[in-house]
């Protein structure tokens, strides 16, 4: 009987030691995040990125874009828009028109950063606005809603124009916006609107395929340049090292 008790105690001791060893080894391994935790951390990394950048980094001095095929058959040709000015951040309902603000507010937007650019010939001007949303899913939903929303007054919902005195954008007001749009990546939505640099009144730019194509490409090119800076690749969340890292 004593032998049986001793053997049993030995077996139980070995099992306990093994369990303890597994527990220690598990604690020493890198921490594993759930899919939901991964998304939360990634959203946080994206959302804080703009705070680490200066206005000049968010809105580069120049933004290159490829001209539409109706303008040139040379695929290597690139054009560039130059930054005219940046304004301080504003709340969403101030920086965007009512239709766009309703969408952005729904998906958690609080502030928008804006800048205005002019194309290389000073023929067109573009205002871009950066909206920072709580998650990538909300940013995507907002961009989709803005893209599919019906026009208001002949133009899609979008960012408000930002004019600058004594520049090609001095005449650029909301009443002279010709087209608007939005794209997203990460937790950011970049809205853009474009118009002519001169004082001509708003007219259906789509009736002029040349102007329509170039204006769209310039506006999208500036928006894509800004978005590429803000939504640069965020590495997968990891927690190497000891427990709690």
Residue 218 pLDDT greater than 50, yes or no: yes
Residue 3 pLDDT greater than 80, yes or no: no
Per-residue DSSP letters for 108-124? T--EEEEEEEE-TTSSE
Residue 163 in 3-state DSSP?
A: coil
CA 176 – CA 222 distance, rounded (Å): 19
- Residue 43's φ and ψ, nearest 5 degrees, are -60, -40
Residue-level pLDDT at 18: 46
Residue 201 pLDDT greater than 50, yes or no: yes
68 pLDDT tier (thresholds 50, 70, 90):
confident
87 pLDDT tier (thresholds 50, 70, 90):
very high
Which residue has better confidence, 200 or 3?
Answer: 200
Residue-level pLDDT at 119: 93
Residue 158 pLDDT greater than 90, yes or no: yes
CA 135 – CA 199 distance, rounded (Å): 40
Q: What is the mean pLDDT of residues 91-112?
A: 94
Residue-level pLDDT at 66: 85
**Running DSSP on this structure, what letter comes out for residue 202?**
P
Residue-level pLDDT at 75: 62
> Of the given ranges (148-152, 211-215, 231-235), which has the lowest mean pLDDT?
231-235
Confirm if 231 and 46 have CB atoms less than 8 A apart. yes
CA 65 – CA 216 distance, rounded (Å): 10
> pTM for the whole thing?
0.76
CA 220 – CA 119 distance, rounded (Å): 12
């Amino acid at each position: 009987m004593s032998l049986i008790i001793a053997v049993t105690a030995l077996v139980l001791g070995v099992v306990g030691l093994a369990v303890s060893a597994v527990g220690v080894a598990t604690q020493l391994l890198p921490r594993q995040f759930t899919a939901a935790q991964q998304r939360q951390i990634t959203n946080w990394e994206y959302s804080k990125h703009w705070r680490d950048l200066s206005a000049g980094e968010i809105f580069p001095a120049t933004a290159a874009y490829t001209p539409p095929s109706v303008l040139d058959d040379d695929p290597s040709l690139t054009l560039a828009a130059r930054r005219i000015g940046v304004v301080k951040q504003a709340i969403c309902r101030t920086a965007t028109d009512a239709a766009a603000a309703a969408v952005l507010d729904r998906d958690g937007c609080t502030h928008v950063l804006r800048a205005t650019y002019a194309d290389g010939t000073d023929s067109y001007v573009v205002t871009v606005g950066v909206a920072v949303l709580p998650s990538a899913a909300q940013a995507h939903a907002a961009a989709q809603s803005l893209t599919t929303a019906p026009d208001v007054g002949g133009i899609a919902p979008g960012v408000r124009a930002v004019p600058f005195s004594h520049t090609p954008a001095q005449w650029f007001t909301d009443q002279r916006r010709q087209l608007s749009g939005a794209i997203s990546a990460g937790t950011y939505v970049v809205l853009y609107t474009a118009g002519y640099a001169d004082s001509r009144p708003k007219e259906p730019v789509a009736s002029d395929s040349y102007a329509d194509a170039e204006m769209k490409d310039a506006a999208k090119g500036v928006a894509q340049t800004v978005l590429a800076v803000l939504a640069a690749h965020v590495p997968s969340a990891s927690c190497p090292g000891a427990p709690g890292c």
